[in-house]
Structure 1
Amino acid sequence: MDTRSILRLEGAGLFAAATAAYFSLGGPLWLFAVLALAPDISMAAYLAGPRVGSRFYNAFHTYLAPLSLLGVGVGLGVTPLSWIALVWAAHIGADRAVGYGLKRPTGFKHTHLSVEADRDSRIAGHGPVVPDAGGRDD
C-alpha cells in the first residue's frame, strides 16, 4: 500500500474516532454541523497569495492545534472545548480521507497528498527527487 493510501485511511480513522468521541461526550448535532466546515474559512488567506494562504490553511489543518485544545478541554473539565477540538479533528480527518492534504506554497492544489504536485515539482525542478533504497524515485 502506498503512503497516500495509508494517510487517507489514517484520516478516515481519525474522522470516525473523533466523531464517535464527540457524540459519546453528548455533543449536539447542530454544533457539529455548524463547526464541521469552520476550519475551511482559513482558505480566505489565499487572497494574500499562495505562500501566506498555504501557511494559514496549514495552521488550521494540522492535528497539533485540535489535540492541544482537546487536552485543555479534558484537563480543565470544559466539555465544550473538547467538543470543538473533536469536530476540528474530525474535519481534518475527513479532509485527509478524501485526499485534501497540507498545502504547499506553490499553489492551492499542490498538497502532500497530491500526485500532481509531485509531478509538477519534478518537472519544474522544485526540490530534489530522493530515490528509495531500490533506486526508484516514485
Structure 2
Amino acid sequence: MSGATTGGVRLVLRLEAAIVLGISLLAYDRFGAGWSMFVLFFLAPDLSFFGYLAGPRLGALAYNLAHSYLGPLMVLASGVFLDSPTALASGLIWSAHVGFDRMLGYGLKYPEGFGFTHLGPIGRVRLAPDNARKPAPQRDAA
C-alpha cells in the first residue's frame, strides 16, 4: 500500500492527535454540556462503519467524512460564530473522538479496505510488495 505514513512522521501525527484529544477534553470541561452528553455521543462518529456494508469504497468515504478534522472544525466554528453552546459541545466531542482514534493509529481509510489507513496498516492486513499489485505479463500460448 502506498501512501501510508511511517517512522517519525507517523509518531508526530499520532502525538498531534493526542494533543487534539487533550485540548478537546479541556475545552469540553470548560464549555461542554456535561459529561453524560460527552459519554453518550463520543462514539457517534463510529456509526460511519455501517458504510462498509455497502463495500469498501463507500465505507472508506463514510468513515473519512466522519473522521476528518474538517467536520468538527466546521461545527466548532458555527458554535463560536452563532453563539451556540450545543454546536460548540458537539464539535468538541467530535474532535475528541477523531483525536482519540488517530492517537491509537486509526487513520483515514483507503478504499482497499478498513485496515488500510494513512497512518499505516491496522489489524491483520497483509501488505504485498508494490509490484505485486501489477498484473503479470501475458505469455502467448505457443
TM-score by length of 1: 0.84
Give, in angstroms, the shift of residue 2 of structure 1.
1.1
Listed as ranges, the gaps of 5+ residues in structure 1 are 127-138
TM-score by length of 2: 0.82
Instruction: Evaluate the alpha carbon distance shift between residue 8 and residue 79 of structure 1 in structure 2; reply closer, same or farther with a 3 A threshold.
Output: same
Give, in angstroms, the shift of residue 120 of structure 1.
3.5
Counting aligned pairs with the same residue, the percent is 41
Letter in 2 for 1:122: D
3-state SS of 2:33 partner: coil
Give, in angstroms, the shift of residue 115 of structure 1.
4.4
Instruction: Name the structure 1 match of 2:50.
Output: 44
Structure 1 segment 73-112 matched on structure 2, within 5 A: 73-112=79-118
Listed as ranges, the gaps of 5+ residues in structure 2 are 1-6, 135-142
Instruction: Evaluate the alpha carbon distance shift between residue 121 and residue 92 of structure 1 in structure 2; reply closer, same or farther with a 3 A threshold.
Output: farther
Count of residues in correspondence between the two structures: 126
Alpha-carbon distance in structure 2 between the residues aligned to 1:121 and 1:13? 34
1:8-54 deviation digits (Å, cap 9, x = unpaired)? 00000000001110111143010000111000000000000000000
Return the index of the structure with the highest Cα Rg.
2
Instruction: Evaluate the alpha carbon distance shift between residue 60 and residue 122 of structure 1 in structure 2; reply closer, same or farther with a 3 A threshold.
Output: same
Match for residue 59 of structure 1 among 50, 62, 65:
65
Instruction: Name the structure 1 match of 2:133.
Output: 125
Alpha-carbon distance in structure 1 between the residues aligned to 2:121 and 2:37? 35
Give, in angstroms, the shift of residue 121 of structure 1.
6.2
Higher relative contact order (CA 8 A, sep 6+): 2
